[in-house]
Structure 1
Amino acid sequence: MKTQILKSVIATSVLTVLTVISSSAYANNVTATVTGFAYANPQTATITSATPAVNNLAVYAGGFSGTYADSTSFIAYCADISQELAPWNSAQTYTQGNLASAFSSTKAADLTTLSNKYYSLVNNAETSAAFQIATWEILYENTVNPYQVNSNGFKAFGGTGVSLAQTWLSGLHDSSFAVTGNYSIGLLQSGKYQDVVTVTPVPEPETYAMMLAGLGLMGFVARRRKS
Structure 2
Amino acid sequence: MKSILTIAALTTTVLAGVASATTVNTTYQTSGNPFGTDNLRQVVRVQSPELTTNVYAGLYQMTGDNGFGNFAAFCVDLAEWLHDPVTYTTQPRLFGAAVRDNVAKLYNSVLGGSTVADVIDTSLEAAGFQVALWEIVTETGSSLDVSDGAFSVSQNSGVANMAQFYLDNMGTAATDGYEITFLYNDGYQDLVTVSPVPVPAAGLFLLTGFGGLAFLRRRKKA
Shared fold (TM-score, shorter chain, > 0.5): yes
Q: Decide whether the 8 Å contact of 2:40 with 2:126 is kept in 1.
A: no
Q: Does 1:58 align with 2:58?
A: no
Is 1:131 aligned with 2:129?
A: yes
CA distance in 2, matches of 1:83, 1:155: 17
RMSD: 2.6
Per-residue CA deviation, residues 9-29 of structure 1 (Å, 9 max, x unaligned), is xxxxxxxxxxxxxxxx96531
Q: 1:94 aligns with which of 88, 99, 102?
A: 88
Q: Which amino acid aligns with 2:55?
A: V
Task: Return the alpha-carbon distance in structure 1 between the equivalents of residues 107 and 62 of structure 2.
Answer: 19
Give 1:152's aligned residue. Answer: 149
Task: Please give the residue correspondences for 1:78-227 in structure 2 after superposition, counting only pairs within 5 Å.
Answer: 78-87=75-84, 90=85, 92-99=86-93, 102-119=94-111, 120=114, 121-144=119-142, 146-159=143-156, 160-173=158-171, 175=172, 182-206=177-201
User: Whole-Å Cα distance in 2 between the matches of residues 106 and 61 of structure 1?
Assistant: 23
| Aligned mates of 1:183, 1:84 — CA distance in 2 | 26
Q: TM-score under structure 1 normalisation? A: 0.68
* 1:68 matched residue in structure 2: 64
Deviation at 1:207, TM superposition (A): 10
Aligned residues: 174
Q: CA deviation at 1:208?
A: 9.3
Letter in 2 for 1:82: A
CA distance in 1, matches of 2:40, 2:102: 28
**Cα distance in structure 2, aligned partners of 1:75 and 1:137:** 19
Q: Distance in 1 between matches of 2:192 and 2:64?
A: 14
Q: 1:26 to 1:48 in 2, by over 3 A?
A: same
Identity of counterpart residues, as a percentage?
A: 29
Equivalent AA in structure 2 for residue 94 of structure 1: Y
Amino acid at match of 2:191: V
Whole-Å Cα distance in 2 between the matches of residues 106 and 62 of structure 1?
Answer: 24
The answer to which of 113-122 and 58-67 deviates more is: 113-122
Give the greater-gyration-radius structure (CA).
1
Higher helix proportion, which one?
1
TM-score of the superposed pair, with normalisation by structure 2: 0.70
How many angstroms apart in 2 are the aligned matches of 1:42 and 1:62? 4
Distance in 2 of aligned mates of 1:95 and 1:33? 14
Q: 1:77 aligns with which of 57, 74, 87?
A: 74
Q: 1: CA distance between counterparts of 2:133 and 2:74? A: 8
Q: Which runs of 5+ in 2 are unaligned?
A: 1-18, 206-222
